[in-house]
Amino acid sequence: MKTMTCKQLGGACDVEFHANTFEEIAEMSKNHAMEMFKIGEQAHIQAMTEMRATMKSPEDMKVWFDYKRNQFNEMP
């Protein structure tokens, strides 16, 4: 099991997610972001705005996900 924080995944806080695969941890991060959006948490909304700018290009999105996936996979 590996751990990454919201911040490590492009978010705004130190909430930790624990998972066996990058796909699982990415889903947890997405769900957390949606909950923060629902309650209007401004730091997370700002982080989401920045992520949207990064994700406009499918190529940039793939580079970002590959980078984060590699970080996850390199963890002990």
Strands (E), 11-75: 16-19
DSSP string, 50-68: HHHHHTTSHHHHHHHHHHH
Q: Buried b vs exposed e over 22-31: b needs ≥16 C-beta within 10 Å?
A: beebbebbee
Q: In terms of Cα–Cα distance, which of 7, 4, 15 is closest to 47?
A: 7
Q: What is the pLDDT of residue 51?
A: 87
Q: Which token pair is 52?
A: 């949207």
Q: What is the pLDDT of residue 24?
A: 97
Q: What is the pLDDT of residue 71?
A: 96
Q: What is the pLDDT of residue 54?
A: 80
pTM over 0.85, yes/no: yes
Q: Which token pair is 57?
A: 């290009």
Q: What is the pLDDT of residue 53?
A: 86
Residue ranges, the chain, pLDDT below 50: none
Domain ranges across the chain: 2-74
Q: In terms of Cα–Cα distance, which of 73, 72, 13, 23 is closest to 43?
A: 13
